Amino acid sequence: MDKPLVGVSVREWKNAHGLVENMAKSIDYIGNKYNVNIILIPMHYPEDLSISYDILSRVAGGVVAMYYPTSIVWKISWGGL
């Protein structure tokens, strides 16, 4: 990759109104301001897939990818992403 990588993990919460829109806007802002690639990581697979897809569909900057972990702890700790 030609840019630094930032990982974001999101969990859906009760009464978290506007979470998806706010996260999408934040991801756009961070990706553009700091010139980084952002990857969504559903840490609790498959429970976090739905909200991750919702956020991914609303990001305007095209700086986001989705990573499907098999063993995310190992991959993060050993730099396997």
Predicted confidence (pLDDT) per residue in 36-78, tens digit: 888 888 888 788 888 988 998 898 875 566 666 655 554 444 4
Q: Which pTM does this prediction carry? A: 0.75
Chain centroid offset of residue 3 CA:
16
What is the per-residue pLDDT for 25? Answer: 95
Per the CB < 8 A criterion, the answer to whether 27 and 54 are in contact is no
| Domain edges within the chain | 5-77
Residues 17 and 4: their CA atoms lie apart, in Å, by 30
